[in-house]
Amino acid sequence: MDYVPARGRIIVVNFEIAGVAVPPEMVGNRLCLVVQNNKLSRGPLVTVVPISATEPRTLSKQHHRMSHLSFLDLPIVWEPGLPRWAKCDYLTTVSLSRCNDPYRKDQNQPRKYLKIKAAQCDIEAVDRCLSWVLGITGPG
C-alpha cells in the first residue's frame, strides 16, 4: 500500500510477509480495522485491530461482533455475510508494505481495489473495547 489509509477503513494485512508467524500470533491475510492512521508522522506504519470470522471461545470486553453493514461491499472471496469479530486484544502496528485494500478481480480484468469504511457503530464499539484493553476505562 503506498498511502496511509484513513481511520475506520477495512484493509487486508499479510501477517506472514518476510517470515512465518508463530501461533497464537495472527497468520495469513486478514481483514483489519484501521484504528490509527499516520497523523503522528510515524513513517509507513498503521495501527490496526484484526478481524476474525472465528467466534471467540469466551466473549469478553476485548471482542466486538461487527455489524454486517461494515462488510456489504467486500468481494465474495471474503464472504461478506459471515459474522466477524474485532479482536481488540490483538491491537498491532504494521508496515504499510504488509497492507492492501480488498480487491475484486473479474475475469480478464485488472484488480479493482476497494476502499471500504466500517460502519460508525463498529468504529465506536472498537474504540470502547480498546479503551478497556488499554486500561483507559474500567470494566463496565
pLDDT tens-digit profile of 65-87?
A: 999 999 888 877 677 678 999 99
CATH code that applies to domain 9-133: 2.30.30.110
Domains in the chain: boundaries: 9-133
Mean pLDDT confidence for 108-136:
93
* Bigger pLDDT: 64 vs 3: 64
pLDDT-wise least confident of 21-25, 34-38, 103-107, 109-113: 21-25
Burial of residue 24 (number of CB atoms within 10 Å: 0-12, 13-18, 19+) = exposed
Question: What CA–CA distance (Å, rounded) separates 88 from 122?
Answer: 12
pLDDT band of residue 139 (cuts 50, 70, 90) is: low
Q: What residue has cell string 463496565? A: 140
Question: Residue 62: left (phi > 0), alpha (psi -120 to 50), or beta?
Answer: alpha
100 phi and psi, to 5 degrees? -150, 160
**Cell 480478464, residue located:** 108
| Range with lowest mean pLDDT among 12-21, 53-62, 108-117 | 12-21
Q: What pLDDT is recorded for position 131?
A: 94
**Residue 2 main-chain phi, psi, to 5 deg:** -105, 20
